[in-house]
Amino acid sequence: MKLTYNWLNDFVEIKLPPKELCHTLTMAGLEVVSLEEKEGDFVLEIEITSNRPDWLSVVGIAREVAAITGAKLRQPKHIKQNTLNIQPPLVTIENKKDCPFYSARVIQGVTIGSSPDWLARRLAYIGCRGINNVVDITNYVLFTWGEPLHAFDVSRLENSSIVVRRAHKEEKLICLDGHTRTLNDQMLVIATGSSLARSRAVAVAGIMGGEESQVSTSTTRILLEAAVFDPVLIRRTKRTLGMQTDSAYRFERGVDMQTAEFASGQACRLITEIAGGKVVGGKTVKDAVCKKKMISLKTSFVNSFLGIRIPGKAIKKYLSPLGFELKPKSKDVFSVGVPSFRQDVRGPADLVEEIARIHGFEKIPKTLPQIKPHVEKSPARDMACATKDILVGLGLQEVITYSLTDKALLKCFAEGADSDPIEIRNPLSKEQAILRSTLLPSLGRCIAYNLNQKQEHVAIFEIAKVYLFAGTQVKETLALGIALCGARRHFLDFGSVREDLSLLHLKGAIETLFSRLGIRGYAFTPSPHNVVEIMIGRERMGRMRPLTAQELVALDIKNADVFVLELLLEKVFPRADLHKRFIPVPKYPAISRDISFVMKEETLVDEVVAMLRMRGAPLLRDITVIDYYKGKQIPHGSRGMTFSCTYRSEEKTLTESEILPLHKALCESLVSAFGATLR
């Protein structure tokens, strides 16, 4: 909303210089976004919130200035429908719900010409194109009082008739902007004709007039429309037609009936003054006027709600200039009459806002609420935070990627190929048309992006929702995705080594994560196509695998292996056990003995360890792989392993001789059970 300082000053004496005025308005909720000096005047641009259509007018803002500064609002006298009614127009309204108010006034003998200087300049300053004196006046009235008006050339109407009705299906109208619009029965039109059925559209109601009936230089008789239309209808029509006009902007927010009537009178006065002519007839059709809304307001409520102490007197002083009528009901209670142009005010809270605004938000003190403790664990969030900390500690970088993705990429991934994607009805682009059912394509993209930036080592994770169909229901569930690519460098005391990332790194991350979360009984189960299922007990938690050649091509990754993992945290977290119980540190020292042996390549370490554990119990407390080797000294098809066995007793310090037979037996069992060769 644009207006000028002088224009505003016509309606209220402004006691503030322009800059201060802007600050004052901003702090009252009318945010001034720009101030520009123009030949002795100042143009202000104000952002008006959608709840205050009354502020879409100079008078509305003047009312605000009056309330804040204590100046008086200057309104011209209301001009009533004149009694002279020689040629009353014919107004038919199909449905009063669509159009609760319609006023038509006919002015005869106007001379169409250019607008006087003051009018032309004001409109120009606020960026409104001048047309001719009559149209400019309707615009001037629109900006001054917020009521959109329209002037028709009566000679283009059938018998000065106006019909307000829904458009017929496929009805066409050439609008003022020269474009032909195709209408439908969800749109309201102003038509002319002898009856509802036999009428032709001359305007899209509340949005734009038609070309044919517009006021032109040859016009001498005009019909001035002032109306109120159903905001929802205007809004839908405007959207469907893709038209935004100053008129529609106000109608969709709600126009006040009384203001409409008043503005119509002011427009007639200005037209007859400037363009000459005489009002020769008028007709107003209106729905029953709603009763004035009354709200009961307690001074004590205002004070306790805002945390201030102001007397009832102050409340009256704040609200009256805004058009509210306050009558004291008792010592503490006012009965507040709400002006018709304030449809947004419905209850005491709305009045409290008005009081707070005029009092000044700045003057309200700062206090702290008494917050009562409420300890509530949010397991999923706490667990996700713990997981992030653990993964970060493992050198993984957290990423955040878009939940929306493109179907094509999703379909390339095994995880996305088999599920029905959840589609967005109104996507911005193909790239964001699907709610992802897996994090992996997005993580793959991240890897590709960073490889392009010449990163040698990319190790990333994301914890975010994935979206799936559970039957026909849409379900969102928390997932963890990890992606690894490249190699990292370590310094050892003899120099640096390059460590290529692999599936075992993913496994290591999950082992650490699970052990830190107190998860037991998990396993990594190989399945076809290099996929490893991650199990807890018998339940599948997720899987890890290298990206396939097809996926790498889709991501445009060349000459690099990428390893990915996805876990459904909704399944994992309930298995976590963060309750720690102290286990006494061992009283007696342990003895370690190593076993070095060569075993067949296909023998699984897990099997060997399980067997040794079983046979070594109870003295064998721990068994770990400390070295492995494949190469020259090892026969083809085999690998060398070194295990470290830890023996300990709870009762005494073990001696060499006590464990020797057991250790020997374990060594021999490797030979007998797995055909291993001891080294």
Partner 1 sequence: MDFNALVTQIESVAQGIDTEIQNISSDADLEAVRIKYLGRKGLFAEFTSFIPSVPQESRGKIGQKVNFLKDRIGVLLEERKRQLGVVAPPQEKISLDISMPGMGQAVGRRHPLTQTIDEICAIFVQMGFTVKEGPEIETEFNNFTGLNIPLEHPSRDAFDTFYLESKERLLLRSHTSPGQVRVMKSRTPPLAVVVPGRVYRPDAVDASHSFMFHQIEGLVVDRDIKFSDLKGTLEVFVKAVFGDDIAMRFRPHFFPFTEPSAEVDISCIMCKGKGCSVCGRKGWLEILGSGMIHPQVFAHVGYPSGAYTGFAFGLGIERIAMLKYGITDIRLFFENDLRFLTQF
Q: Which of residues 605-664 bind partner 1 (CB under 8 A)?
A: 656-657, 660
Give the position of tokens 């016009």. Answer: 219
Decide: is 453 part of the binding site for partner 1 (CB under 8 A): yes
> Within 10 Å of residue 611's Cβ, how many Cβ atoms?
15
Cα 2 versus chain centre, distance: 28
Decide: is 218 part of the binding site for partner 1 (CB under 8 A): no
For the bound state, the minimum distance from the C-beta of residue 388 to partner 1, rounded and expressed in Å, comes to: 6
- Distances 87 to 81, 191, 274, 277 between C-alpha atoms, Å: 13, 19, 22, 14
Nearer to partner 1, 404 or 560 (CB): 404
Mask 465-484, x = binds partner 1 (CB under 8 A)? x-x------x-x--------
Mask 47-76, x = binds partner 1 (CB under 8 A)? --xxxx------------------------
Mask 19-38, x = binds partner 1 (CB under 8 A)? -------xxxx-x-------
Give the position of tokens 């290529």. Answer: 500
Interacting stretch for partner 1, rule CB under 8 A, among 124-132, 196-204, 422-430, 595-603?
A: 422-430
For the bound state, the minimum distance from the C-beta of residue 468 to partner 1, rounded and expressed in Å, comes to: 11
Nearer to partner 1, 477 or 502 (CB): 477
For the bound state, the minimum distance from the C-beta of residue 69 to partner 1, rounded and expressed in Å, comes to: 17
Exactly one of 195, 217, 426, 633 binds partner 1 (CB under 8 A); that residue is 426
Q: Is 509 left (phi over 0), alpha (psi -120 to 50) or beta?
A: alpha
Interaction residues for partner 1, span 255-314 (CB under 8 A) = 304-308
Measure the CA–CA gap between 464 and 569, rounded to whole angstroms.
10
Exactly one of 40, 127, 242, 365 binds partner 1 (CB under 8 A); that residue is 365
User: Which ranges of 517-629 does DSSP label H, i.e. alpha helix?
Assistant: 549-554, 569-572, 605-616
For the bound state, the minimum distance from the C-beta of residue 304 to partner 1, rounded and expressed in Å, comes to: 7
Interaction residues for partner 1, span 236-255 (CB under 8 A) = 236, 252-253
Site residue total, partner 1 (CB under 8 A): 92
Exactly one of 110, 446, 572, 612 binds partner 1 (CB under 8 A); that residue is 446
Cα 376 versus chain centre, distance: 28
Please name the helix (run of DSSP H) or strand (run of DSSP E) that holds residue 649, with its range, or none. Answer: none
Give the max Cα distance, the chain: 129
Partners of 189 in beta bridges: 165, 204
DSSP string, 485-501: EEEEEEEETTEEEEEE-
Measure the CA–CA gap between 529 and 232, rounded to whole angstroms.
58
Exactly one of 374, 558, 581, 632 binds partner 1 (CB under 8 A); that residue is 374
Decide: is 406 part of the binding site for partner 1 (CB under 8 A): no
DSSP code of residue 321:
G
> Within 10 Å of residue 5's Cβ, how many Cβ atoms?
21
Exactly one of 200, 357, 545, 648 binds partner 1 (CB under 8 A); that residue is 357
Question: Which one-letter amino acid corresponds to residue 578?
Answer: L
Interacting stretch for partner 1, rule CB under 8 A, among 315-323, 452-460, 539-547, 577-585?
A: 452-460
For the bound state, the minimum distance from the C-beta of residue 561 to partner 1, rounded and expressed in Å, comes to: 18
Sheet with strand 325-328: strands edge to edge: 293-298, 333-338, 325-328
DSSP code of residue 210:
B
Nearer to partner 1, 93 or 458 (CB): 458
Mask 313-352, x = binds partner 1 (CB under 8 A)? ----------------------------------x-xx-x
Angle (deg, nearest 10), helices 312-319 and 299-306: 90
Question: Which one-letter amino acid corresponds to residue 25?
Answer: L
Measure the CA–CA gap between 192 and 27, rounded to whole angstroms.
47
102 neighbors 269 (Cβ within 8 angstroms): no
For the bound state, the minimum distance from the C-beta of residue 38 to partner 1, rounded and expressed in Å, comes to: 19
Give the position of tokens 């409109």. Answer: 123
Decide: is 396 part of the binding site for partner 1 (CB under 8 A): yes
Nearer to partner 1, 308 or 590 (CB): 308
Determine the 3-state secondary structure of 231 from DSSP: helix
Nearer to partner 1, 123 or 484 (CB): 484
Interaction residues for partner 1, span 106-125 (CB under 8 A) = none
Nearer to partner 1, 467 or 643 (CB): 467
Exactly one of 393, 508, 521, 526 binds partner 1 (CB under 8 A); that residue is 393
Interaction residues for partner 1, span 128-157 (CB under 8 A) = none
